Each structure stands twice: as C-alpha cells, then as structure tokens.
Chain A
C-alpha cells in the first residue's frame, strides 16, 4: 500500500525566508505525486504535480518541488515567503492498489504561518 508522511504539522517562517515543507512517500511503483494548498474556508487547489517526467516540478505562486527517488521525498519549496502563502499544504500520492486504484492518498497537512 502507499502512504504519505508530511513532517511537521506546523511550520513558521519570516516573510522573505525560504519555505520548505517536507513530504515523504511510500510506493513500490513509480508514484504520481501532488501538492495542494488550502486557504482558510476554501477547498484545495492544485499547486503542482509530478507524473514521472522532470524531477523538478514548478507550480503556481513560485512554488516548486523536487522528486528524489533515492530519498522517497517530494519536498515543496519557495525561495521567498509572502504573507499570502499562509495556508495549509497537503501532499498526496496516487493509489495503485486494489479497488481504490487511482484515488489520491493525502498526508495530514502542514500549516504554514508567515511572520511579518
């Protein structure tokens, strides 16, 4: 079975600082991986996706993520945090097993706070 682990339920950075949100996955087959963002009182929006093409994936709002097979990681980064980046971020992996094949398995989320 596949799983996703997001390290750190809360991350706080200063405005202008590097944002690093960690995601590790478990999968015995090449994974499809996704990062979603959720602003308060809204649904989830897709930030970026990895589908076995380039290992460095660029998304919206200046975010990017690097797929590292050797580390089973798909960490999300942004060079300079803005106040508007404060939100909750979810990593997800596509399920390949059983009847749920193709469904997404979500991590528990990381809430990002940005200090002025």
Chain B
C-alpha cells in the first residue's frame, strides 16, 4: 500500500509569483484535502476534492485553487503569492464511504520572500 506523497519538499518563491503543489493520494483513496499550517499553529482546512470536483472550502481566497485528476491525485495552485502564504502545506487522502479517517503526506514547505 502506497502512502500519500507530496512534491516538492521545499519551495522558495517571490511575492506575486504563482506556485503549484502536487499530491498523490494513498492507493484506494478517492478524496483529497489540503491544509495550510503556519508556524506554531494547527493545520487549517483549505479545500477538499472528491470525484474531481471541489467538495467544500475553508476560509481561503479564490487565489487558492485546486484540481483533482482521474487517478485521484491533486494539485494546489496559489496565485499572487503573499508573504503570509509562507507555511507548510499538507495534503490528506481518505476514502469516502468508509469513514473519514484521513492520512497525511509529508508536506511541502513554502517560503515566500
């Protein structure tokens, strides 16, 4: 069984740029959720994708967008990067219909300068 993977591990971007983060769900899982974790805080829910459609969104602006692909992998895109976007971005996968236990990937650490 393959766990959740994320790429890249680390990323440095400049304010105003755009970034794409990638996530491969655990084998057999059909739902992907993205979370942002600022330093010293708990993770905050960004959005969830199920059957290639957004299935709920947290309190994040539209410049945070995503995709889910037929193989259930997912991308998180952030446009017009701001300094406050510097954080650890975590992806989690789960299997709808068999509870909602979520399994997290190792994260992508984004630094915006």
Q: Do A and B bind each other?
A: no
